[in-house]
Amino acid sequence: MTQFVTRQENAPETAPGLREFTADWSGDQEAFRHVHWGKAMMWIFLLSDTFIFSCFLVSYMTMRSSTTVPWPNPSEVFALNIGGQPIPLILIAIMTFVLISSSGTMAMAVNFGYRRNRKVTGALMLATALLGASFVSMQAFEWHKLIFEEGVRPWGNPMGAAQFGASFFMITGFHGLHVSIGVIMLLIVASKVARGHYDRAGDYSAVEIAGLYWHFVDLVWVFIFAFFYLW
Is 184 inside any structural domain? yes
Cα 46–chain centre separation: 8
Under 8 Å between Cβ of 112 and 204? no
Of the listed ranges 28-42, 55-69, 105-119, 206-220, the one predicted with least confidence: 28-42
How many structural domains is the chain composed of? 1
Of 129, 220, 127, which Cα lies nearest the Cα of 182? 129
pLDDT computed for residue 27 by the predictor: 52
More confident residue, 182 or 200: 182
Domain assignment present for 110: yes
Question: For residues 214 and 128, is the Cβ–Cβ distance under 8 A?
Answer: yes
Q: Is 29 a member of any domain? A: no
Proportion of the chain above pLDDT 70, given as a percent: 85
Residue 45 lies in a domain: no
Least confident of 138-152, 170-184, 191-205: 191-205
Per the domain annotation, does 2 fall within a domain? no
- Contact between residue 98 and residue 131 where contact means Cβ atoms under 8 Å apart: yes
Average pLDDT for 158-177: 94
Whole-number mean pLDDT of the chain? 88
Confidence of residue 6 (pLDDT cuts 50, 70, 90): very low
**120-126 LR contacts (CB < 8 Å, sep 24+):** 121/193, 121/204, 121/207, 122/190, 122/193, 122/194, 125/186, 125/189, 125/190, 125/193, 125/207, 125/210, 126/186, 126/187, 126/190
Question: Is pLDDT of 217 > 90?
Answer: yes
Q: What is the CATH number of the domain that holds 175?
A: 1.20.120.80
Q: Do the beta carbons of residue 198 and residue 206 sit within 8 Å? A: yes
| C-alpha span between 43 and 76 (Å, rounded) | 38
- Amino acid residing at 163: Q
pLDDT in tens, 12-61: 455 566 766 565 555 555 445 567 788 889 999 999 999 999 999 999 99
The region of weakest confidence among 10-14, 105-109, 142-146 is 10-14
- Domain contains 212: yes
Is residue 72 in some structural domain?
yes
* E strand residue ranges, 7-146: 30-32, 35-36, 80-82, 85-87
User: Phi and psi of 158, rounded to 5°?
Assistant: -70, -10
Mean pLDDT, residues 166-194 taken together = 97
Residue 27 backbone zone (phi > 0: left; psi -120 to 50: alpha; other: beta): beta
| Domain extent at residue 111 | 53-229
CA distance 204 to 3: 55
Name the least confident of 8-22, 74-88, 96-110, 114-128: 8-22
- 24 assigned to some structural domain: no
Q: Work out the percent of the chain whose per-residue pLDDT is above 90.
A: 69
